[in-house]
Amino acid sequence: MKTLFILAGLFVAQLGALASDWPQLQRDGARTGRTPDSVAPPFRARWIWLGSDLTLQNQDSEVGWPHDLETRPGYTYPIPVSVPFTISGEVQPIVANNRVFLGTIEGQAFGIDATTGLNLWTSPLAGGTMCTASAAGTRVMFACLDGAIRAFDQATGLLQWTAYLRKTTTSAPCVIGNNVYCADHAGYVYALDAATGQLVWESDRLGPSIQGGLAADATSLYACTEDMVCHALNLADGVERAQSQVRGQSFRTLHPVVFNNLLYVHTAPVPAIGSEYVMDDLMASSANLSQEEANIRSWLAGDNNGGAWQDASADWRHLFVLSTSTMTEPFVVAAGPADGSGMSARPVVVDNQNRVLAYFKTRFATLTAPGPIFGTDYTVDIAAINQTNGNRIPIDNGHFSGLWMWETDNLYAMSVAGNYLWLRQNFRGTQVINLTNSTYRYVEAAVRGNDGGGFNADIIYADLPTPGMEYEYDVVQTAHYPYQGRVAPAVSGQFVYFAESFGLVCAEHLP
């Protein structure tokens, strides 16, 4: 067993998060992505952090704040032309103790006041980071590309400890109790004491590489290796107790979700060509939802219905549900391919009614928007998964939410706050659906005149594309080429937080 090298400092305060905190990826170690906190539409930008020296503070939010952040036709926010850093598209801001934390690709860690948006501290982050940080007690921890986990004091930004893994790490640290769990591209999982960084245990080598995220419940940690095997480890000692082979080509940018004794695993499907018009012939031959689900399960087993359905193959499977006790598959979810543009469908999210929500390409949608949409003659819906048999449970409030833009190849990462389902991607922006009445709101779009124009949202940074940018939805030049991931907003108390490649946005209710 290799020993990790530790640089440790002092630690005070109890481990744990305030009720309204969002202290790690998707808020908890199980990656459920939900909070009871709720922020109702309409919205406005409260502040926009653009680096250690500049925060735009909305003059309508607090007396004495100086900046005009009212969205209106013809107006562009007073944003800079460039910033000297790049925030990865896989970074979700985390919130703990009224502070927001994130890191950059270039190698800076930032602590930001969650209420005012003012920069509290900036610290060097050797190696830089591509993923979400984690907070525990007085520590905030970053997984770095040089293969180290670095922990800083939340209040001061002073480095407290460094733990060196074997290889680079792109997995967001997972906090359960007093420990932080990490993984690396060498295929190992590590449990570290969050207070000191001391090694608690180290797993055997699980596989060739762990590039995606981790998840945990009260007794087990779940990690997936790039040979497409999902592993269940004892949380107490790191011993592997079960594993399961799934299909796909990678877990990169994805994470498992644990809920109600089931593990939900997303993969990048083998045909990484997008999902445009795939399965349309199958949907056309399905008379109702029950028949459509039966047909999709057959299609995913390789049945082409005598040649009537094109491209039938198990290689399209990308959502697997495993029993946490045995790591066997109790049922097959009838989820055909969804999303594209180089992205896999984002992981499931758990709402506050204990429903597990996922994307379904379908002829029989009830929540999102009717078809046809770009990339299919039908549409893509969001529905719950029956946790007994894997069947779809529609969310039907009597009408569609009418989401726009809605495309099969540009879906969104999901989080839940109160009764609201939050949807976000860096390209199309941020939207929200009220799950109780199916109303939706376009919260944020980068550019009003993007992609032909017509974008109307509560928050719009620029009226027209910025000259000289490679893509018209890029409004601020970053130090490196932006990495386009898809992560959901974090909601804490009365504020909503989401990261752009060039900064951090705090949204609030517009009274």
- What pLDDT is attached to residue 343? 77
The tens digit of pLDDT for each residue in 367-418 reads 999 999 988 999 999 999 999 999 999 999 999 999 998 998 889 999 999 9
CA distance 127 to 247: 32
Local confidence band at 8 (pLDDT 50, 70, 90 cut-offs): very low
Burial class (CB in 10 A: 0-12, 13-18, 19+), 292: buried
CA distance 421 to 384: 12
Residue 273 has pLDDT above 90, yes or no: no
Domain count, the chain: 1
Please check whether residue 118 is in contact with residue 111, taking contact to mean a CB–CB distance below 8 angstroms.
no
Residues 6+ apart with CB under 8 A from 306: none
Residue 121 has pLDDT above 90, yes or no: yes
- What pLDDT is attached to residue 5? 41
Per-chain mean pLDDT for the chain:
94
Name the region of 494 (left: φ>0; alpha: ψ -120 to 50; beta: rest): alpha
The tens digit of pLDDT for each residue in 288-339 reads 999 999 999 999 999 999 999 999 999 999 999 999 999 999 999 999 998 8
303 in a structural domain: yes
What range defines the domain where residue 320 resides? 6-59+75-503
Residues 6+ apart with CB under 8 A from 92: 25, 26, 132, 487, 488, 489, 490, 498, 499
185 in a structural domain: yes
64 in a structural domain: no
Residue 184 has pLDDT above 80, yes or no: yes
Task: Render the burial of 54-72: b for 16+ CB within 10 Å, e for the rest.
Answer: ebbbbebbeeebebebebe
Local confidence band at 19 (pLDDT 50, 70, 90 cut-offs): low
- What pLDDT is attached to residue 472? 67
257 in a structural domain: yes
67 in a structural domain: no
CATH number at residue 234: 2.130.10.10
- What pLDDT is attached to residue 480? 92
186 in a structural domain: yes
CA-angle at 492, arms to 115 and 103, nearest 5°: 75
Lowest mean pLDDT among 12-16, 27-31, 222-226, 357-361: 12-16
Mean pLDDT computed over 432-451: 96
- What pLDDT is attached to residue 11? 31
> Quick one: what percent of the chain has pLDDT higher than 90?
87
Residue with tokens 């003659």: 377
Amino acid sitting at position 140 = V
The tens digit of pLDDT for each residue in 129-183 reads 999 999 999 999 999 999 999 999 999 999 999 999 999 999 999 999 999 999 9
Tell me the CA distances in angstroms from 345 to 294, 319, 332, 342, 489, one per residue in order.
21, 9, 17, 10, 17
Local confidence band at 466 (pLDDT 50, 70, 90 cut-offs): confident
Residue 494 has pLDDT above 70, yes or no: yes
Residue 242 has pLDDT above 70, yes or no: yes
508 in a structural domain: no
Residue 7 has pLDDT above 60, yes or no: no
CA distance 275 to 312: 13
- What pLDDT is attached to residue 458? 99
Q: Under DSSP, is residue 271 helix (H, G, I), strand (E, B) or coil?
A: coil
